[in-house]
Amino acid sequence: MKIAMTTLSSKILSQDKEHFAQLAVDAVMRLKGSTNLEAIQIIKKPGGSLKDSFLDEGFILDKKIGLGQPKRIENAKILVANTAMDTDKVKIYGARVRVDSMSKVAEIEGAEKEKMREKVKKILGHGINCFVNRQLIYNFPEELFADAGILAIEHADFDGIERLALVTGGEIASTFDNPESVKLGHCKLIEEIMIGEDKLIHFSGVEMGQACTIVLRGASHHVLDEAERSLHDALCVLSQTVNDTRVLLGGGWPEMVMAKEVDELARKTPGKKSHAIEAFSRALVAIPTIIADNAGLDSADLVAKLRAEHHKEGCNAGIDVISGS
C-alpha cells in the first residue's frame, strides 16, 4: 500500500491516493506473482468523480447485448470469432448481377440467406451459448441466434476480443467447419451491468482466475487518460515488488550511507588522492541537499542534521519533505 501511495503521490490521483492504492494492490495481488498486466483491464467511463472508480473481478466488455437475446447466461461456453456475419461477398467486391425479372432478384436474396443460415448452423454446432464476433452481425443472423437462445455480441473491437480470448481461455476462430479443433472460452456468468449511463457486459468467474477490470470514472477524457497512466505506473511498480520484495530507504538515505563510507576512506588515504575521494563524497551529499531545496526547506540545516544522525549505528534516517524534518 505504501509503495502504491508513493507512486501515486506526485500524479493526478494524489488526492484519492488511498483509494487508488487499494485498487492497484487488490488488482496486483490477484495476479498471484505473475507480471502479466494484460490480465488487468482498465475501462474509462466519463462521468462521476475519480472516487467512484472501482475494481471488478472478471472481464467487462464495453458492448451492449443484442435485441431479444438472453440478458444473463450461466456456465457460458463462448466462441470468440473474427468473421463476417453480414451477407455474402458479392456486395463487397462490387460485382454486378443482371436479371430479367423481380423473381430472380428474390432468388439471389434467398440464396444469400441460405448461405448465412448454413453458417449460423455450423456455429451453433459448437454447442455454445455465447458468440462474440469482432465484425458486424446483421439482423438476420442475429435473429437466428436469438431464436436459438444464444447471446451474440458484435463489433467487440480488437483489444477487447483478444483480451477476452486470453482471459476466458479460448482462441479466436474464423472458420467453423470442424468444431472439435476450436478452443472455446468458458466463464461462470455473463450478465449486463450499468456503469453511469452505459450498459456493459460482465464476464465473471473466468478461466484465468487472476483477471480483473478496473473501471475508472472521472469528469473528462483528459482526467481519465491521465488517471489511467498514473494507475498503470503503480501497477507496474507493484507487480515487480511482489516478485522481488527488497526495498531501499529513500529521502537521501542511501547517498548519506555511501558518503560516510567514502569520507572515511578519504581520511585514511595519503596524498592528493584524498581530495578526489572527498569530492566524490560531497557529490553524493548533493542528492539530499537537492531533495531539501526542491521542497523549499533549509538544506544546509537539514543535511547537517542528517549527517549527524548517520554517525549513529544502524541509522535509517532520510529527509521527510512533507514534515520538513
Domain spans of the chain?
59-208, 253-311
Closest CA to 179 of 125, 115, 116: 125
Per the CB < 8 A criterion, the answer to whether 142 and 52 are in contact is no
Element (H, E) at 225: helix 221-243
Alpha-carbon separation of residue 306 from 37, 188, 253, 254, 265 (angstroms): 39, 57, 9, 12, 20
Quote the pLDDT of residue 281: 93
CA dist., res. 142 & res. 205, Å (int): 26
Question: From the first residue on, what is the mean pLDDT of each consecutive set of 10 residues in the chain (325 residues)?
Answer: 84 82 88 77 86 85 77 86 71 70 84 86 86 83 85 78 82 82 85 83 78 87 89 89 84 90 92 92 92 89 90 86 83
At 93 the pLDDT is 61
185, three cell numbers: 472460452
Question: Taking the model in full, what pTM does it have?
Answer: 0.68
pLDDT for res 56? 84
Q: For residue 88, what pLDDT is reported?
A: 55
CATH code for the domain defined by 59-208: 3.50.7.10
For 122, what's the count of Cα atoms within 13 Å in the CB-facing half-sphere?
18
Q: How many CB atoms lie within 10 A of CB 313?
A: 4
Q: Which three cell numbers mark 62? A: 464495453
Residue 4: how many CB atoms within 10 A of its CB? 24
- C-alpha dihedral sign at 193, 195, 198, 204: negative
Would you say 25 and 182 are in contact if contact means Cβ atoms under 8 Å apart? Answer: no
* pLDDT for position 240: 87
| Gyration radius of the chain over CA positions | 30
Q: Report yes or no: 54 and 218 within 8 Å, Cβ to Cβ.
A: no
Q: Which amino acid is at 231?
A: L
**Rounded to whole angstroms, what are the CA distances from 318 to 259, 280, 288, 307?**
13, 20, 8, 10
- Per-position b or e across 33-71, b if 16+ CB within 10 A of its CB: eeeebebbbbbbbbeeebeebebbbbbbbbbebbeebbe
The half-sphere exposure of 289 on its side-chain side, counting CA atoms within 13 A, is: 9
Given a contact cutoff of 8 angstroms between Cβ atoms, the answer to whether 230 and 8 are in contact is yes
151 and 130 in contact (C-beta within 8 Å)?
Answer: yes
Terminal alpha carbon distance of the chain? 23
Distance CA 81, CA 165 (A): 9
C-beta of residue 42 within 8 angstroms of C-beta of residue 255: no
Distance CA 169, CA 271 (A): 69
Query: What is the spatial distance between Cα 259 and Cα 253, in angstroms, rounded to a whole number?
Result: 10
